[in-house]
Structure 1
Amino acid sequence: MNIYSGNSLQETKAPVMTPSCFLDTVYAESVDVLLLAAGCGPGLLANAKMWVFEHSVYFGDSCQDILSMLGSPHNVFYKSKDKMNIHSPSLLKQVPSKCNDYILNDFTLRVDILFDSNTHKVKKFVLHTNYPGHYNFNIYHRCELKIPIAIKKENADGQTETCTTYSKWDNTQELLGHPVEKPVVLHRSSSPNNTNPFGSTFCFGLQLMVFEVMQNNHIAS
């Protein structure tokens, strides 16, 4: 005995699925592909248009503002502890936190955005240079960062230098000055029983910025 839909076994077709099969979510009944360029044949795609948008995000922006400008992130990470808290004043170290800060990870925009758990506003941006030999290599796209640095010299007009993705740590220290405190050593591993084959990185604090420096003198973030 055969169970089928249609007039005969040779002309069977799949029955129409009811909305309950999709758990009352949005679904596509069919998808039509339109080839807009003239002369396009089967298997040829029209030239895709690239739309360029420019948005500015700032410290203190709310989470809703960031999501409306940049869209949904690829991942949301909730911090368990702040390793850079050792550089905070002693009074801030003693204040317990009722909830954890969270980070929006965007791999194609090459940036992580840290939000305060109480105010839900931006308090840190992390820009990734995606250098080979780093633990997060090839996870993020390379961020082409540019940090203008104003340099004042005696008996001369001030000039502006730029710290970029390709600047090395030695050159950056000549522009910003040498850090006073020792760096925070950052270890990464995929599990407690594994070690990081790329080695540790060092986090230096300079002029309200933290530079993660690799052992080959390149800036990782």
Structure 2
Amino acid sequence: MLSTLEVDIRPGSGIGMFELGSSLWAVLTMLRSLQHLFPQVEVKFDAENASTTPVILHLRPHFDLLFSGYHQHLHTICLRKITDLHPPIILRYKDSVICSGGDPLVKVQITRAFGPTYPGDELRYPGVWFSFEDDAINESLKGGMPHTGPDQRSKEVKRIIVTQKETQSGEHDALDEVIPCPVMFGDISRAIIKIHHGIVLHFFAPSSSPLHICLGETTAQDLNIDLGPPSRVYYKEDGRMAIHSPNPQLDEDSYSNDYFYNYFHHGIDFLISGQTHRVRKIILHSNVPGSPLFQHYKRCPWELEGRPEDDEDDTPPRMRLSDKFEAISHFLSPRDPPPQSMVLDRTDDDDTITLPSPVSRLYGYSGVILEVNEASQVVTVTLF
């Protein structure tokens, strides 16, 4: 027997279990526990620009979820095929059921529940609109008063779209980032990388102060206080990179007792010294769709900071995760070609992962290592 999908419409906020502003990582994590309702989840993205363009989740047959291109937050929710019984839908608004049991949702039911609105081909209200077409969204509003005959009253709603409410500056474009809202509070809005020093984390939250994490200074206890307990503590067992060290035995011994603090919900790993319990390395994850580490970590919106022109320069140059590797490499080493790379195939340790392009390359610079995929997108940044 199919489970019934009971959802409520919250204009400008969400539908059912989906809340505008939620991260792609959080939504996909939630969907893993809801396979009885959503057995088919399709992730769509532009493979050549996966770090910069929106991601769409198709949850057949009812939902399409659009996530913003940079911060990967839920921007738009589309509910469709309301009469499809696989699974059946019960649709609520406030305390009233407006549709259930596979019955069509018609125009007059919407106007009774939501009241009058402006004329047009769709019924548009702040934060929600109802379309009578199955085709791609028609963003234009056509003038003229709608007909009020019986055929118009019984027009069937094909799609319900929930977005954030329009701001004073006008309508919120589908390619814009999500306007900060409570569900985003506590997420990282910017992670400024200061090479050889550490990172500065800025958060989506009212009157939130930046958090400075310094290499060789910040302790494991500091991280527990400032970021909370890690998602996982992982003791370092992989010493394969030591073979590339001039003193491999010394390097392997030096790292033998180290451990990782994994903050999957922030997209950051910290390597902690087993001797001093201070931060030795910081790894920031881009959560690029199609890469082997996709969905292991939430996207960390990092920015690489360059040297300021002088001591009074408050706006030093920066490169962002949306920039291609070639531009970032020139930024880090403008006078030299990219350094020789090492090949990394993260699927070597997991036979269950099959990807069309599983191989990435590691490029080392002074104080930083970039992991780059075949589309020249930086998927991880390691600071040491």
Query: 1:187–1:196: 8 Å Cα contact kept in structure 2?
Result: no
Alignment of 1:84 onto 2:274: no
The Cα RMSD (Å) is 3.0
1:207 deviates by 1.9
Instruction: Give unpaired runs (5+ residues) of structure 2.
Output: 1-93, 97-180, 186-204, 310-314
How far does the alpha carbon of each residue in 1:184-206 deviate from its partner, in whole angstroms, 9 at most, with x for none? 22221375645652321111111
Find 2:318's aligned residue among 137, 162, 169.
162
Q: Say yes or no: does 1:103 pair with 2:103.
A: no
Tell me whether 1:70 sits opposite 2:227 in the alignment.
yes
* 2:370 aligned with 1:205: no
Task: Tell me if the contact between 1:188 and 1:195 (Cα under 8 Å) persists in the aligned partners.
Answer: no
Q: Quick one: distance in 1 between partners of 2:239 and 2:272?
A: 13
Relative to 1, partners in 2 of residues 1:194 and 1:138: Cα closer, same or farther, differing over 3 Å? closer
Aligned to 1:7: none
Distance 1:78 1:160 in 2: 36
For 1:114, what is the secondary structure of its paired residue? Answer: strand
Q: 1:119 to 1:129 in 2, by over 3 A?
A: same
Q: Deviations over 1:60-118 (max 9, x none)?
A: 2211111111111111122212343344332xx22253843211111221111111122
Partner of 1:183: 341
Offset, 1:122? 0.4
Checking the alignment, whether the CA contact within 8 Å between 1:151 and 1:175 is kept in structure 2 is: no
The farther-off stretch of 141-150 and 188-197 is 188-197
CA contact (8 A) 1:179 1:206 kept: no
Query: What is the one-letter code of the residue matched to 1:108?
Result: H
Q: CA deviation at 1:176?
A: 1.3
State the TM-score, normalized to the length of structure 1. Answer: 0.66
Q: What CA distance in whole angstroms lies between the structure 1 residues aligned with 2:296 and 2:371?
A: 16
The SS at the match of 2:379 is coil
Moved over 4 A (4+): 47-52, 178-181, 190-196
Equivalent of 2:249 in 57, 82, 94: 94
TM-score scaled by structure 2? 0.40
Give aligned-pair identity as a percent.
26
State the AA in 2 paired with 1:70. Answer: L
**What residue is the counterpart of 2:298 in the other structure?**
141
Between the aligned partners of 1:125 and 1:179, the Cα distance in structure 2 is 25
Supply the distance in 1 between the matched residues of 2:241 and 2:306 (Cα, whole angstroms): 24
Alpha-carbon separation, structure 2, partners of 1:151 and 1:202: 29
Answer with 163-172 or 100-109: which moved more: 100-109
Q: Match for 1:124: what amino acid?
A: K
Relative distance call for 1:119 and 1:68 in structure 2 (3 A) is: same
- Does the 8 Å CA contact 2:363/2:370 hold for their aligned counterparts? yes
For the 8 Å contact 1:149–1:162, the answer to whether it is kept is yes
Decide which structure has greater strand share: 2
Q: Which structure 1 segments of 5+ residues have no match?
A: 1-40, 153-158
Answer with 1 or 2: which has the greater Rg: 1
Aligned amino acid, residue 73 of structure 1: P
Structure-to-structure mapping, 1:119-134, within 5 angstroms: 119-134=276-291
